[in-house]
Amino acid sequence: MSYVSDPIRCVARKEHRCTWCGEAILSGEQYFTWRSVDDGRWCQSKMHSECYSVMGEELYPDEGYIPYSNDRPEG
């Protein structure tokens, strides 16, 4: 069973790590976050806005990605 919540746009109050590129999401930066469960394990993803956009363009809904292993897009 898998579940994915709707993404929420936030402003970081502290530093986080982007699950797309692995780089820091700095305090004050906008990012997207959502929760998911796959094979009974809960996970929370956080991504820079530009990483989230690239992920949406490159992936189909049923495909996944390897966390922290992608390049951060410019801009």
pLDDT in tens, the chain (75 residues): 568 899 999 999 999 999 999 999 999 999 999 998 877 889 999 999 999 998 877 664 556 788 899 999 986
For the chain, the first-to-last Cα distance in angstroms comes to: 36
Number of domains present in the structure of the chain? 1
The whole-model pTM stands at 0.83
**What whole-number distance in Å separates Cα of residue 64 and Cα of residue 75?**
24
As to burial, measured by CB atoms within 10 angstroms (0-12 exposed, 13-18 middle, 19+ buried), residue 2 is exposed
Domain carrying residue 11: 2-58
Q: Would residue 35 count as lying in a domain?
A: yes
Give the CATH number of the domain where residue 22 resides: 3.30.1740.10
Spatial distance between the Cα atoms of 38 and 17, rounded to a whole number of angstroms: 21
